[in-house]
Amino acid sequence: MGEGERGIPGRPDHGWTFFRQWLKNPLAIAAVSPSSRELAQKMLRELPPGASKVIELGGGTGSVTREALAHGIAPERLLVLELNQELHTHLARLFPQAHVACGDARDLKLIADRIGFLDDGPADVVISGLGLLSMSRSTQHAIVEAAFSVMGPQGRLIQFTYGPTNPVYREVMRDLDLAGRRASFTLWNVPPATVYVLSRARSRRVAPVRAR
C-alpha cells in the first residue's frame, strides 16, 4: 500500500509505514508504532536554551522530526539519520529541506562530516529514538560515543526508553564520563515511555595530593 491508501487520502499513513518495517525486522525496530506526539514534545522540551543545531538518530516516520521543526529548529540545521532504507526514503520525501541521511549511528561523525553538517560548528543536541535496550554494550558504547563526538562541551543526548531505568549501561556511562537524569514520562505512547537526558559529567575525580 502506498501513501493515501490508508487513513486520510493524499496523506502518508505513518503508522502503517512504520508497522510494515517492524514486521520485516522486529529486532531492528524497537516498537510496533511511531513515537507519539506527546513523547516527541517532551523530548523537545529538553533542548537547552538557544539550541539551534540538532541531530536525530532513528528518524522512523518523522514524528520527532516534525515536532523539532514545529519547535523552531530550521530544517537546514537539522540532520536526521535513519538506517532503514524505506524509512529513509519516506523521511527524505517528507522533509526535503532537512539533511536526511541513511546510515549507521555508529558512523555519525563520518556521515555528518561528509555532508558538511559540522562545517560551521558542532551540534547542540542529539535526540535519539534508537532501541538502546536491545543493543549490546559495545554497540551502545559506539553509538553514544559517536553522539557526543559531534557535540560541543555542553551538548546533551536526549533518549527515550520503554524500560524503567536509564537504558545506557552503567559501564558505558562510566567509560564515557557521562551523567544522566530522568526527565519525563508519558503514558500516551505505545508502549509508555520515559525520557532520559545524558550529558558530560561536570566534575571528574581528582587524585588527592599529599601536602608537603
C-alpha span between 50 and 145 (Å, rounded): 23
pLDDT of residue 134: 87
pLDDT of residue 80: 98
Domains along the chain with CATH numbers: 34-204 (3.40.50.150)
pTM for the whole structure = 0.79
Closest to 162 measured CA to CA, from 143, 190, 136: 190
Inter-residue contact 82 to 60 (CB < 8 Å): yes
* Ramachandran class of 68: left when φ > 0, alpha when ψ lies in -120 to 50, beta otherwise: alpha
Query: What phi and psi, each to the nearest 5 degrees, are found at residue 181?
Result: -140, 150
How do the pLDDT tens digits run along the chain, 212 residues long? 232 322 333 334 444 344 344 334 444 444 444 467 888 999 999 999 999 999 999 998 899 999 999 999 999 999 999 999 999 999 999 999 999 999 999 999 999 999 999 999 999 999 998 989 889 999 999 999 999 999 999 999 999 988 889 999 999 999 999 999 998 877 656 577 899 999 999 744 444 444 44
The 10 Å CB-count burial string (b at 16+, else e) for 8-30 is eeeebbbbbbbbebbeeeeeebb
C-alpha span between 115 and 160 (Å, rounded): 27
Helix (H, G, I), strand (E, B) or coil at 57: strand
> Which residue reads 540545521 in cell numbers?
77
